[in-house]
Amino acid sequence: MNAPTDRKPRTVFFLSDQTGITAETLGRSLLTQFDDTEFRPITVPFIDTIDKAREVAERINETARKEGRRALVFSTLVADEIRGLIEEADCTHMDFFDTFIGPLERELKTRSSHAAGRAHGMHNPDNYSRRIDAMNFALANDDGVTSRNYGQSEVILVGVSRSGKTPTCLYLALHYGIYAANCPLTEDDLEDGKLPPALEEHKHKIFGLTIDPARLQGIRNERRPNSRYSSTRQVLYEVKETEALFRRYGIPFVNTTQTSVEEIAATVLHGTGLERHIR
Amino acid sequence: MNAPTDRKPRTVFFLSDQTGITAETLGRSLLTQFDDTEFRPITVPFIDTIDKAREVAERINETARKEGRRALVFSTLVADEIRGLIEEADCTHMDFFDTFIGPLERELKTRSSHAAGRAHGMHNPDNYSRRIDAMNFALANDDGVTSRNYGQSEVILVGVSRSGKTPTCLYLALHYGIYAANCPLTEDDLEDGKLPPALEEHKHKIFGLTIDPARLQGIRNERRPNSRYSSTRQVLYEVKETEALFRRYGIPFVNTTQTSVEEIAATVLHGTGLERHIR
């Protein structure tokens, strides 16, 4: 028989002297490998003083006492004194920097700067400008509102309404600095089986998004229940004709049904061979 | 005397059986600790077959031959056979899963699923809906176009034009599923030194953004050179009055000058105590 605590979610701390994004991304990736275990995640960012570190260490110890078992702690803490305080707390502690910095220093034959807060900082004002410009581009060229800037765009996402075009364009902008426009296919386009002329001219830049009809119907139904827009017939028709059109033109496409925005964006980047502008 | 290769950037591979986002996040965070070394990053995502792994291994070996030294390789490769092929290549290899899964299995007393591609997958359709809804909310409530939905928003970002409100709202939406609106302060607001009534009512939800005048001027100058909008006088006035207003109302605020969008978003989340909706 299991102790009752085993059925309760395991508490996980993501700790950082900065935003906590790295610790979270890494920790979450690892935890997805443990399907059968439930986790209760707590992020504590900006632990940049000894006092804050003591407070968190006490919270970790308190968790162990109250829950009858140790929390998992994932961290990116650069300062030795701060990391040391967490290390001494009653937990299973994995610090990502601590683990890898040593081998890297040996390989690079140099000392690391041991400076906190570099991972997501604005090292480079060019990066900042580029991502903002790209974001503004995505916003100004969303949903086919204009075809004027197709010449300037690096990729044009095409797909039925609610297939994920807008979030993917914004993700491409914010994370890779890519100029991405997007355009839905109209019913006229689908009936003709042709790309509109404004797109045809930029065919080589098009990347298609498709989605399983049942999932599309679910999404559309939330927005406009019992409408033609969300009817089985309409959804099946649009998806079938869109995919036929992609094939006819040799347009690469990705099915977004089981796919997160991160994955769609990475697939587009990889599939187009575009260079990211943010390093 | 250094060998000439020492001055060339060191090649770094980020390898993954999925998007590569985790491997990149880890690797880039670590590399920021080595200021004095230049790196040439190459991401190869979707290495999900033995053939693809062989191809990459060959590319890594080729790099070592051509550059006269081994590349750094950061990876998240779940399948043992695929990881093994990279392991055997001529490089300094750090696999993130390989390093941490063992200790986690021991602590959790369970086996990991060893399944590729979970880290950024769409486990949870609720997450997907939430982030899309939040994104649409941010787009519909950008730049003070309407105050109708302030009741529904979880946070309202306020600041001068070009202080980073829109990208932060979109980041909060895409990454945390937070309903974030944003609103600029008009010249009338600044002259009166008062929040507009529509905002005043939701004062407790406001988070302020500010920025150093010199940086703001630089950003504005790129958009509208030699305008009143980008003049020293105007920029100084707006920043001074905005910060005074934040202080008067006890509105928490963050200076975005040296700060990436990730950091601003994490600061807002931490500062407001909002719960993220995406897990």
DSSP codes, B97-141: HHHHHHHHHHHHTS-----SS-TTS---HHHHHHHHHHHHHHHHT
For residues B147 and B250, membership in a common domain is answered with yes
Report whether B254 contacts B268 (CB < 8 A): yes
- Structure tokens belonging to residue B87: 């392991």
Contacts of B205 (CB under 8 A, 6+ apart): B150, B153, B154, B155, B156, B272
For position A38, which CATH number holds? 3.40.50
Answer yes or no: is A116 within a domain: no
- What are the strands of the beta sheet with B91-95, ordered from one edge? B39-44, B10-16, B71-76, B91-95
B119 → chain A, closest CA residue: A29
For residues A144 and A104, membership in a common domain is answered with no
pLDDT tens track for A241-275: 999 999 999 999 999 998 889 899 999 999 999 98
Report whether A264 contacts B121 (CB < 8 A): no
Residue A28: its chain B contacts at CB < 8 A?
119
pLDDT of residue B3: 46
A176 → chain B, closest CA residue: B21
The answer on pLDDT for A1 being more than 50 is no
pLDDT of residue B247: 97
| A21-35, A51-65, B259-273: which is most confident | A51-65
pLDDT tens track for B51-105: 999 999 999 999 999 999 999 999 999 999 999 999 999 999 999 999 999 999 9
Partner residue opposite B94 with nearest CB, options A29, A100, A279: A100
For residues A60 and A139, membership in a common domain is answered with no
Measuring CA to CA, how many Å separate A242 from each of A35, A182, A247, A267, B118? 36, 15, 9, 19, 28
Number of folded domains in chain A?
Answer: 2
| B29 CA: distance to closest CA in chain A (Å) | 5
In sequence order, the β-bridge partners of residue B15 are B44, B75
Answer yes or no: is A15 within a domain: yes
Residue B92: phi and psi, rounded to 5, are -95, 110
CB pair distance less than 8 Å for B263 and A26: no
The answer on pLDDT for A10 being more than 80 is yes
For residues A50 and A156, membership in a common domain is answered with no
Pairwise CA distance, residues B171 & B166, whole Å: 9
Pairwise CA distance, residues A154 & A178, whole Å: 7
Q: Where are the beta strands (DSSP E) in chain B?
A: 10-16, 39-44, 71-76, 91-95, 155-159, 180-184, 206-210, 253-255
Residue A132: its chain B contacts at CB < 8 A?
164, 167
Report whether A242 contacts A210 (CB < 8 A): yes
Residue A47: its chain B contacts at CB < 8 A?
none
Q: How far is CA A167 from the centre of its chain?
A: 10
Final residue belonging to a domain, choices A79, A108, A137: A108
CB pair distance less than 8 Å for A262 and B26: no
Region B233-238: mean pLDDT is 96
The answer on pLDDT for A92 being more than 90 is yes
The answer on pLDDT for B1 being more than 80 is no
Annotate B2-27 with three-state secondary structure. CCHHHHCCEEEEEEECCCCHHHHHHH
For residues A27 and A84, membership in a common domain is answered with yes
Q: Which helix (H) or strand (E) holds A108?
A: helix A96-108
Final residue belonging to a domain, choices A108, A133, A162: A108
Question: Residue B223 — pLDDT band, cuts 50, 70, 90?
Answer: confident
pLDDT of residue B5: 46
Region A205-234: mean pLDDT is 94
Pairwise CA distance, residues B245 & B235, whole Å: 15
Report whether A90 contacts A60 (CB < 8 A): yes
Cβ neighbours, 10 Å, residue B237: 16
Question: Residue B150 — pLDDT band, cuts 50, 70, 90?
Answer: very high
List b or e across A169-179, with b for residues whose CB sees 16 or more CB atoms inside 10 angstroms. bbbbbbbbbbb
- Return the half-sphere exposure (C-beta side, CA atoms, 13 A cut-off) of residue B74: 25
Answer yes or no: is B102 within a domain: yes
pLDDT of residue B136: 93
- The residue length of chain B stands at 279
CB pair distance less than 8 Å for A110 and B10: no
Measuring CA to CA, how many Å separate A170 from each of A7, A37, A98, B62, B67? 39, 33, 34, 36, 37
For residues A36 and A155, membership in a common domain is answered with no
User: What is the value of ipTM here, to two decimals?
Assistant: 0.83
Report whether B18 contacts B116 (CB < 8 A): yes
For residues A153 and A232, membership in a common domain is answered with yes
Cβ neighbours, 10 Å, residue B141: 23
The answer on pLDDT for B4 being more than 60 is no
Report whether A166 contacts A268 (CB < 8 A): no
For residues B163 and B85, membership in a common domain is answered with no
Q: Which helix (H) or strand (E) holds A255?
A: strand A253-255
Measuring CA to CA, how many Å separate B154 from each of B24, B250, B279? 31, 18, 17
Structural domain boundaries enclosing A58: 4-108
The answer on pLDDT for B232 being more than 50 is yes
Answer yes or no: is B155 within a domain: yes
Answer yes or no: is A278 within a domain: no
For residues A17 and A89, membership in a common domain is answered with yes
CB pair distance less than 8 Å for A94 and B103: yes
Q: Which residue has the tokens 């099915």?
A: A255
| B19 CA: distance to closest CA in chain A (Å) | 6
Give chain B's largest Cα–Cα span. 69
CB pair distance less than 8 Å for A33 and B222: no
CB pair distance less than 8 Å for A263 and B219: no
Residue B259: its chain A contacts at CB < 8 A?
121-122
For residues B55 and B145, membership in a common domain is answered with no
The answer on pLDDT for A141 being more than 70 is yes
Answer yes or no: is B117 within a domain: no
Final residue belonging to a domain, choices A74, A108, A142: A108
Answer yes or no: is B35 within a domain: yes
pTM, entire model: 0.85
B264 → chain A, closest CA residue: A19
Answer yes or no: is B279 within a domain: no
For residues B98 and B232, membership in a common domain is answered with no
For residues B81 and B219, membership in a common domain is answered with no
Pairwise CA distance, residues A263 & A254, whole Å: 10
Measuring CA to CA, how many Å separate A6 from each of A9, A237, B109? 8, 49, 11
